[in-house]
Homo-oligomer: A and B are copies of this chain.
Amino acid sequence: MSLVTETPRGGRKATATRTVEWTAEILVGILDSTPGRVPDLFGDLTVSRRRVVAVDTKFHAIHGDRLRALLARYRIEHPDPVIVQGGERSKTRATVEQITAALEAFDVSRFGEPLLLFGGGVLHDVGGFAAAEYRRGITYRMFATTLVCAIDAGFALKVAISDPFKNRTGQYHPAEAMFTDPAWFRTLDHEQILDGTGEIIKWAVVEPSAPLFARFERHGPRAVAEGFSANDPDALAIMRGTIKGMMHELADNPYELVTERRSYIGHGMSMAFEPQVTHGQAVILDILLTLMIATRRGIVPPKLRDRIVTVIRACGLRLWHDVLDTDRIVSALADTMRHRHGKQSIPVPNGKLRTITYMNEITPDEVRQALDDLYATAHAA
């Protein structure tokens, strides 16, 4: 669909539309797959078998040999994988350029030779960013090796680097396909499981239709203890429910032109707590403060707030951290407004779950009070 019309001043106005499609799937046994069983794992091999591969350091150390064997079974032509260190500190221009240099050295085509990424959210950010820019955009496929990437970042449109400001420079460029295998979570640190749990809880408290929160209350703490990696149908249902809900959330507002958004819960203040705590833990601290403010405002009944606090505690997530500070939060809220048409637009479930109120004009006094309330809650017996 395109259109050119004459402007009142005799110039021309053009309209262009771009459509993007992407998938997110949980597959079991990815490293054992064969072209016969999962023919599309690395994209359409009839167009080209050439691929550049980037792999997270830790995943490479544990699964490097099996990954190499997998690529060989699919007869992928590839140079040595680019090895990328995990962690927020790698979200730099230098890491992006390391991947771009590999794309250039292998002379990757604009079409049909997707970049393959095996790693977590950081690799998604830097690899997705490199793909977004190279030849003005090539496709990429994300193999999400961490929980947080599997249920959130790995199928998001957003990619960004934090060089020099957190996520200040970025693009909207989703992986054409995201795959994850819960078996990969077995070798994650428990901190990384908690990181992903933060984003699952984020979605569970704002999910508009499915009974995700109730399911998480019952089975979440056990799934966390198992690292979401056991053959536990409830853990799988929680992950699938989160992916399903977040995919709708993304597809309904892919470019964030609407700045009232359910999934923004936990994301209006949390950047002030990173990198002192992981992203998921920062999101949880933000949600807790949001609940404290909303309860004082009469939006969230104390009973609902307490249910959410209880399940967060049961998962072993922190309710308090010394990074929490009024000035940092006020400054984060000011930056948030610059992203949201000048409004804070902090979502919170209003009374019953499933419906949402967007809070605005949260004052420094309210933040101070919320910190007091949260401190007391966290330190109660």
**Residues of chain A at the chain B interface (Cβ within 8 Å):** 2-4, 7, 9-27, 93, 100, 104, 107-112, 132-137, 155, 157-158, 160, 165, 168-172, 174, 240, 243-244, 247-248, 250-252, 254-256, 338-342
Beyond A12-B24, A16-B251, 10 additional pairs, beta carbon < 8 A: A12-B25, A14-B22, A14-B250, A15-B21, A16-B20, A16-B21, A16-B157, A18-B19, A104-B165, A136-B158
Which of B17, B132, B135, B170 sits near A168, CB closer than 8 Å?
Answer: B135
* Structural contact, B169 and A134, CB atoms closer than 8 A: yes
Closest to A38 in B: B9
* Structural contact, A11 and B107, CB atoms closer than 8 A: no
The CA-CA distance from A107 to B342 in the complex, in Å, is 12
CB neighbours of A256 from chain B (8 A): 136
* Structural contact, B18 and A18, CB atoms closer than 8 A: yes
CB neighbours of A174 from chain B (8 A): 14
* Structural contact, A18 and B21, CB atoms closer than 8 A: no
Closest to A334 in B: B107
CB neighbours of A12 from chain B (8 A): 23-25, 243-244, 247
Task: Give min CB distance, A375 to chain B, whole Å.
Answer: 31
* Structural contact, A17 and B16, CB atoms closer than 8 A: no
* Structural contact, A247 and B4, CB atoms closer than 8 A: yes
* Structural contact, B26 and A10, CB atoms closer than 8 A: yes
The CA-CA distance from A132 to B160 in the complex, in Å, is 12
Task: Give min CB distance, A118 to chain B, whole Å.
Answer: 18
* Structural contact, A4 and B109, CB atoms closer than 8 A: no
The CA-CA distance from A109 to B168 in the complex, in Å, is 11
* Structural contact, A18 and B17, CB atoms closer than 8 A: yes
CB neighbours of A108 from chain B (8 A): 338
* Structural contact, B339 and A16, CB atoms closer than 8 A: no
